[in-house]
């Protein structure tokens, strides 16, 4: 694996274009667009203020920038760099923005969920005002085919599910939702169903049809903190819900009842309970000596890196629990992240109660395949776009790669770089790694991708 030099960014995270050609990074008021393979600057745009949100349109031809402290957004075109569009929300404010499916309009959520405005780039005016989303990020979602926009609206202490046709921007459905405090919605991969779940104060999940009609509900338990994260399997057969009782529940896409409950105990018992489980422990010397173990310098793009830094532990194993927030945990301390592999066979889970451990489950057996114990808390998980390969970041100068064959530690050549975010390129040949204010691009050898990490 080879690495680029480190580049600075600020305001919001850099973003790779949907077609995998470009990498856009904000730096103050400037928007710098590079070729992802050569990292040469292709475009440079200057906004009127600092950038706090950056988003590509679906065809990678335009970029949307929301500006810090202003109700203003600016849109830039790669095809016509001299063209510029500025959207001013005025006193309504701009809490979040979203591209329309055709890339010809911008949806802007105002502050406090007052309204959702549809701005036409061609007409340069507001074409419609829709109900404002309850939470600007998690309470609005476009269907996979782009035909329907779902919005969770809060009115008179009630939650409503609103469906809007993106062809006309007219409401097609508005129904009261049987919940106390909806927090997130997610379309199934085929767009036939919409899942929703409440905030963590109670456990409740709901299922709706494409027309907004209620199809089912599920409550695992009462009078305790509930769901923290959820994700549809890529095939759409089940929904994974991570909750505060240290379990992931797999709900069937039709019955919306649990197919399995995956427990995440702090102690991994001896066989037969965990007979197929492999426990990986990061070696202490790997973390302490990572500066001395950097790989040799490469000729052009930077460096190559190799090495494992892990050993297989014999069961039973006690996983290190968080101690009073010292390891970055929150008060919730539940399953904070669930991530599916591209083929839907593998599920990665991370708990705030045991922040240094990452679980990988095999859906063919519904058993835990691996538990990876790091020396520092995991902060980011990201699956390869096509292969069963999981990248993990722990705020150290390393990226960790899990595959069914085993674990690999990839050490960055910059000892002061702390990897806190990971984003794979479209074909998996590049990986964007970022820390607080810098990013590097890792170039993956195709042979290494095919083989995966060595055990």
Q: Is 176 within the bounds of a domain?
A: no
Integer Cα distance of 4 and 439 in angstroms: 9
Q: How confident is the model at residue 436 (pLDDT cuts 50, 70, 90)?
A: very high
Of the candidates 124, 121, 128, the one whose C-alpha atom is nearest the C-alpha of residue 149 is 128
At 269 the pLDDT is: 86
Last residue of a domain, one of 88, 113, 144: 88
Please state the domain count of the chain. 2
At 223 the pLDDT is: 93
Q: How confident is the model at residue 323 (pLDDT cuts 50, 70, 90)?
A: confident
Task: State pLDDT tens for residues 87-100.
Answer: 999 999 999 999 99
Last residue of a domain, one of 88, 112, 143: 88
Q: Is 113 within the bounds of a domain?
A: no
Tell me whether the omega of the peptide bond preceding residue 272 falls within 30 degrees of 0, making it cis: yes
Q: How confident is the model at residue 297 (pLDDT cuts 50, 70, 90)?
A: very low
Q: To which residue do tokens 């779902």 refer?
A: 150
pLDDT > 90 in the chain, percent: 84
Q: Is 170 within the bounds of a domain?
A: no
At 304 the pLDDT is: 30
Q: How confident is the model at residue 161 (pLDDT cuts 50, 70, 90)?
A: very high
Q: How confident is the model at residue 12 (pLDDT cuts 50, 70, 90)?
A: very high
Domain, as residue range, for 81: 1-88
Q: Mean pLDDT over residues 327-332, rounded?
A: 51
Q: Which residue has the higher pLDDT, 335 or 275?
A: 335
Lateral strand order in the sheet of 158-165: 140-142, 148-155, 158-165, 170-176
pLDDT at residue 453 tops 80: no
Q: Is 67 within the bounds of a domain?
A: yes
At 332 the pLDDT is: 64
pLDDT at residue 283 tops 90: no
Q: Is 399 within the bounds of a domain?
A: yes
Is the entire prediction scored with pTM above 0.85?
yes
Integer Cα distance of 395 and 377 in angstroms: 8
Look up the CATH number of the domain holding residue 316: 2.40.128
Q: Mean pLDDT over residues 238-265, rounded?
A: 97
Q: To which residue do tokens 């782009």 refer?
A: 146
Last residue of a domain, one of 57, 88, 119: 88
Q: Is 175 within the bounds of a domain?
A: no
At 152 the pLDDT is: 98
pLDDT at residue 290 tops 60: no
Task: State pLDDT tens for residues 346-369.
Answer: 999 999 999 999 999 999 999 999
Least confident of 93-107, 234-248, 284-298, 383-397: 284-298
At 136 the pLDDT is: 82
Q: Is 452 within the bounds of a domain?
A: yes
Look up the CATH number of the domain holding residue 44: 2.40.10.480
pLDDT at residue 276 tops 90: no
Task: State pLDDT tens for residues 190-236.
Answer: 999 999 999 999 999 999 999 999 999 999 999 999 999 999 999 99
Q: Is 221 within the bounds of a domain?
A: no
What is the residue-averaged pLDDT of the chain?
91
Q: Can you read off the two tokens belonging to residue 371?
A: 């538990």
């Amino acid at each position: 694996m080879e690495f680029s030099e480190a580049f600075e960014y600020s305001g919001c995270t850099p973003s790779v274009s949907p077609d995998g050609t470009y990498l856009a990074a904000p730096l103050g008021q400037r928007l710098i667009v590079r070729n992802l393979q050569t990292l040469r600057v292709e475009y440079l745009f200057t906004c009127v203020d600092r950038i706090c949100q950056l988003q590509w349109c679906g065809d990678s031809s335009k970029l949307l920038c929301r500006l810090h402290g202003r109700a203003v957004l600016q849109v830039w075109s790669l095809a016509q760099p001299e063209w510029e569009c500025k959207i001013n929300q005025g006193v309504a404010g701009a809490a979040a923005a979203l591209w329309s499916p055709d890339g010809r309009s911008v949806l802007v959520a105002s502050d406090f969920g007052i309204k959702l405005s549809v701005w036409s780039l061609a007409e340069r005016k507001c074409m419609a005002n829709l109900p404002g989303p309850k939470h600007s990020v998690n309470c609005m979602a476009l269907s996979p085919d782009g035909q329907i926009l779902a919005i969770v609206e809060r009115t008179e202490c009630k939650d409503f599910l609103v469906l809007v046709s993106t062809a006309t921007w007219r409401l097609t459905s508005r129904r009261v939702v049987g919940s106390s405090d909806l927090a997130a919605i997610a379309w199934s991969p085929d767009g036939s169903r919409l899942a929703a779940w409440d905030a963590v104060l109670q456990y409740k999940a709901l299922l709706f049809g494409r027309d907004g009609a209620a199809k089912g509900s599920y409550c695992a338990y009462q009078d305790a903190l509930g769901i923290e994260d959820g994700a549809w399997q890529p095939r759409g057969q089940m929904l994974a819900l991570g909750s505060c009782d240290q379990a992931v529940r797999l709900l069937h896409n039709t019955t919306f009842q649990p197919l399995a409950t995956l427990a995440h105990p702090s102690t991994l018992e001896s066989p037969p309970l965990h007979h197929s489980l492999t426990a990986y422990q990061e070696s202490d010397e790997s973390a302490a000596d990572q500066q001395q173990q950097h790989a040799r310098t490469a000729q052009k793009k930077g460096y190559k890196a190799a090495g494992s830094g892990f050993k297989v532990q014999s069961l039973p194993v006690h996983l290190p629990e968080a101690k009073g927030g010292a390891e970055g945990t929150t008060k919730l301390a539940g399953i904070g992240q669930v991530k599916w592999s591209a083929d839907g066979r593998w599920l990665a889970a991370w708990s705030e109660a045991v922040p240094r451990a990452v679980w990988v489950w095999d859906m063919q057996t519904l058993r835990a395949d691996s538990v990876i114990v790091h020396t520092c808390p995991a902060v980011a998980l990201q699956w390869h776009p096509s292969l069963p390969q999981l990248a993990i970041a722990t705020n150290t100068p390393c990226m960790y790669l899990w595959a069914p064959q085993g674990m690999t530690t990839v050490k960055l050549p910059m000892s002061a770089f702390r990897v806190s975010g990971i984003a794979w390129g479209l074909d998996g040949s590049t990986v964007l790694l970022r820390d607080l204010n810098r990013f590097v691009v890792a170039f993956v050898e195709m042979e290494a991708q095919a083989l995966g990490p060595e055990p």
